[in-house]
Copies of this chain bind each other. A is one copy, B any other.
Amino acid sequence: MAKSDRFLKACRCEPVDRTPIWLMRQAGRYMKEYMAIREKYDFLTMCKTPELAAEVTLQPVRIVGVDAAILFADILLPLEGMGIDLEFAKNEGPVIHNPVRSSADVEKLKLIDPHEATGYVMEAIKLIKLELDGEVPLIGFSGAPFTLASYMVEGGGSKNYINVKRLMYSEPGVWHALMEKISDVVVAYLDAQIESGAQAVQVFDSWVGCLAPDDYREYVLPHQKRVMEGLAGRGVPVINFANNASTLLEMVAESGGDVIGVDWRIDLDVAWERIGFDKGIQGNLDPIALFAPPEVIRDKAGAILKKAAGRAGHIFNLGHGIHKETPVEHAKYLVEVVHELSAG
Contacts and interface: CB of A to CB of B under 8 A. Distances in A.
Interface of A: 160-162, 165-166, 169-170, 209, 211-215, 244, 246-247, 264-267, 270, 286-289, 291-293, 296, 300, 303, 319, 323, 325
Given A162-B288, A162-B323, A323-B160, A267 B169 contact: no
A120 to B, nearest CB: 31
A291 B212 contact: no
B244 A288 contact: no
- With a 10 A CB-CB cut-off, give which of A211, A212, A214, A265 has the most chain B CB atoms: A212
A274 to B, nearest CB: 11
A286 B211 CA distance: 8
A212 B293 contact: no
Identical copies in the complex: 2
A92 to B, nearest CB: 14
A169 B214 contact: no
A165 B212 contact: no
Nearest to A213: B267
Contacts of A209: 265
B286 A215 contact: yes
A133 to B, nearest CB: 36
Contacts of A288: 160-162, 165-166
Given A214-B267, A267-B213, A289-B165, A244 B247 contact: no
Given A288-B160, A288-B161, A291-B162, A212 B169 contact: no
Nearest to A245: B265
Contacts of A160: 287-288, 323
B162 A293 contact: no
Contacts of A170: 292-293, 296
A148 to B, nearest CB: 19
Given A162-B325, A303-B214, A296 B247 contact: no
Given A212-B319, A214-B300, 7 more contacts: A160-B287, A160-B288, A162-B291, A165-B286, A211-B265, A246-B246, A246-B247
Nearest to A323: B160
Contacts of A212: 264-265, 286, 289, 319
Nearest to A265: B247
A169 B330 CA distance: 14
A266 to B, nearest CB: 5
A169 B291 contact: yes
